[in-house]
Chain A
Amino acid sequence: MVKADLINSLYVFILAAFIGFEVIRRVSPLLHTPLMSLTNALDAIAVVGAIILAGEHKTTLATVLGTIAIVAATSNAVGGFIITDRMLKMFKSSRTQKP
């Protein structure tokens, strides 16, 4: 059971890493700052682990650490999406800008 999980996880990891390399290689250097803030926001999906940890309420330690983890990850998700969108909004082409 545990072994099968491990193999599955490894497949997912390797495939996702390949997709990551292929997709991110195509991101223009123009947008590397928004790229970093966006991947950072997506990384905040770790909040799902923290939610289960804090919600299951198995031990006080787990609930406390889980709750702090939720705060940290949520602030990343919220802040990361806001700033990425603010930056992308500023990128205008000279064609659309000319009166």
Chain B
Amino acid sequence: MIPGSEYLIEVTYIIAAVLFILSLKWLSSPTTARHGVWAGEVGMVLAVAGTLLYHGIVDYKWLAIGLVLGAIIGVPLGNVGMTAVPQRTALSHAFGALCVTLVGTAEFYLRAPNVPPFVMSVLSLEVILGGLTVTGSLMAAGKLQEILPQRPITYKGQNFVNLTMLAIAVAIAVRLVLHPEAMVLYPFMVGIALVFGVMMIVPIGGADMPTVISLLNSYAGLSAAAMGFVLNSKLLIVAGSLDGASGFILSVNMSKAMNRSFSNVLFGAFGQVQTSAAAAVEARPVHSATPEEAAAILSAADKVVIVPGYGMAVAQAQHKVRELYDVLTKKGVDVKFGIHPVAGRMPGHMNVLLAEADIPYDKLMDMDEANPDFPQTDVALVIGANDVTNPAARTDVGSPIYGMPILDVDKARTVMVIKRSMSPGFAGIDNPLYYLDNTLMLFGDAKAFVGSIVRELTGGGGHG
């Protein structure tokens, strides 16, 4: 062993920890963000290289196999399409938690029955959080990839069953802390955590996925931090708490954006099915318009705000929307985008989809920036968004989404909504926006309709 190599390892870990913090700091602005990735990569490589010097390592064969195999799996996972990023992220939460759970389990069997109470407590926390994150994230990934049904599956006494399972896992953990020689109980604790992860996601519908992914992110981070306590690795504690904090902040953001209480987030008790009140929507008159009419109104406008929802991404309309943005900008119209926090399938997803279509990021406004703008906006063009524009959230106390922050598109001079039909959205709630006098419904497929508007604007000459 090289003398002093122990200190060398610690030094690489300290540098890695600093680089990780810088990495996230640089992410605060799109101009420096890519430095953040480099800082993270350098930190990771340094820490791994430092670890490989560790004197206790006697066999490098399995390490090499593991690292190479991991890289082979990692490359395709890094190259998925941008619409698939949410399920990829859920999958990576599962992988991260799998690593933590396996290491925790191996540590338990190496040390048992002589596990000090403190170590056993954090180890239990590590594998319970890790275990439920593994299966929970796999379930979330399956729902997002639409391998599993997206509809929430609920049954009577669901919350009771779930809480009982969690309570049993915790009870086993307590028992192991007091009597670590009861090793036979350990597999039950992990097993229950794994089953709990599945049960936790079963009642959750597609619309709640942004919150779920954030929450699982937080759990994965916390379980990694707990692993840091078990292994006495400060670097792991730093990385885990950064990840945990990030997931936590995003969960709170998402829960605010969907008007769910904070405790709702912490205990994962979301997804209670709202008994769809919109069973019989009476046919009320709406104003509709053709692509020609829409194009005429748009080209006469000074200021247009486009409000995209996930429906736009489903219709693969973002590139057509980019063309519309180009044409209108060339005509001197000020075009911006108003983006609701839950517009995509995970926090910030819509921004990525629009950036992929080459829409400059300084034209993307979040909800707080966009809302003061709507009263001065000539046209608000809603594409594939529904509930996040529903004025009932502001006015109708009886509405299931009452209190949810929305984009105030109804305050624009003209609202145009591209929609396939009058069918209600995810939550099954009717949208009074569609019946307003200043609202024009543009019925059709988002991609095709935006395409026809663009053709009108370019082909029809510039008499706007």
- Give the interface of A toward B (CB within 8 A): 2, 5-6, 8-9, 12-13, 16-17, 19-21, 23-59, 61-63, 65-95, 97
Contact = CB atoms under 8 A, between A and B. Distances in A.
Interface in B43-96: 43-44, 47-48, 51-52, 54, 56-60, 62-63, 65-67, 69-71, 73-80, 82, 85, 88-89, 92-93, 95-96
B377 to A, nearest CB: 19
B21 A19 contact: yes
Given A6-B118, A28-B30, A41-B44, A86 B79 contact: yes
Nearest to A43: B243
A50 to B, nearest CB: 5
Given A16-B238, A83-B85, A55 B102 contact: no
B63 A55 contact: yes
A72 B79 contact: no
A79 B59 contact: no
A23 B75 CA distance: 29
Given A82-B79, A88-B30, A92-B355, A12 B234 contact: yes
Contact of B366 (A29, A48, A91): A29
Max count, chain B CB within 10 A of own CB: residue among A8, A12, A43, A86 = A43
A66 B101 CA distance: 10
Do most interface residues of chain B lie in helix, strand or loop, or is the interface mixed?
helix
13 contacts: A6-B229, A35-B347, A38-B24, A40-B96, A46-B96, A46-B100, A66-B62, A66-B102, A67-B63, A76-B96, A78-B77, A91-B33, A93-B30
B51 A36 contact: no
Contacts of A57: 58-59, 62
Interface of B: 13, 16, 20-21, 23-25, 27-31, 33-34, 36-37, 40-41, 43-44, 47-48, 51-52, 54, 56-60, 62-63, 65-67, 69-71, 73-80, 82, 85, 88-89, 92-93, 95-96, 98-100, 102-103, 105-107, 109-110, 116, 118-119, 213-214, 217, 220-221, 224-225, 227-229, 231-247, 249-250, 253, 341, 344, 346-349, 351-352, 355-356, 358, 360-364, 366
Max count, chain B CB within 10 A of own CB: residue among A20, A21, A81, A86 = A20
A86 B78 contact: yes
What 5 A-B pairs come out closest when comparing CB atoms?
Answer: A74-B70, A82-B78, A78-B74, A70-B66, A32-B348
Contacts of B75: 78-79, 82
Max count, chain A CB within 10 A of own CB: residue among B69, B82, B106 = B106
A92 B33 CA distance: 12
A56 B244 CA distance: 29
Contact of B54 (A34, A52, A73): A52
A98 to B, nearest CB: 9
A81 B355 CA distance: 18
Contacts of A75: 70-71, 73-74, 77, 92, 95
Given A45-B47, A47-B99, A53-B107, A33 B351 contact: yes
Contact of B347 (A32, A63, A82, A88): A32
Given A43-B240, A69-B98, A70-B70, A36 B351 contact: no
A39 B247 contact: yes
Contacts of A34: 27, 33, 348, 352
A50 B234 CA distance: 15
A30 B241 contact: no
A62 to B, nearest CB: 4
B78 A33 contact: no
Given A79-B75, A83-B79, A94-B362, A33 B62 contact: no
Contact of A50 (B71, B102, B240, B250): B102
A30 B89 CA distance: 17
A41 to B, nearest CB: 6
A52 B249 CA distance: 32
Contacts of A21: 245, 249
Contacts of A81: 37, 40-41, 44, 78
Given A45-B16, A69-B99, A74-B67, A30 B21 contact: no
Given A54-B62, A62-B109, A73-B70, A44 B44 contact: yes
Nearest to B37: A85
Contacts of B253: 29, 32
A24 B247 CA distance: 10
Contacts of A87: 82, 85, 352, 355
Given A36-B346, A45-B16, A52-B51, 18 more contacts: A25-B249, A27-B24, A29-B351, A31-B33, A36-B213, A36-B347, A38-B27, A38-B40, A42-B23, A45-B236, A45-B239, A55-B57, A55-B58, A57-B59, A72-B70, A73-B99, A80-B74, A87-B355
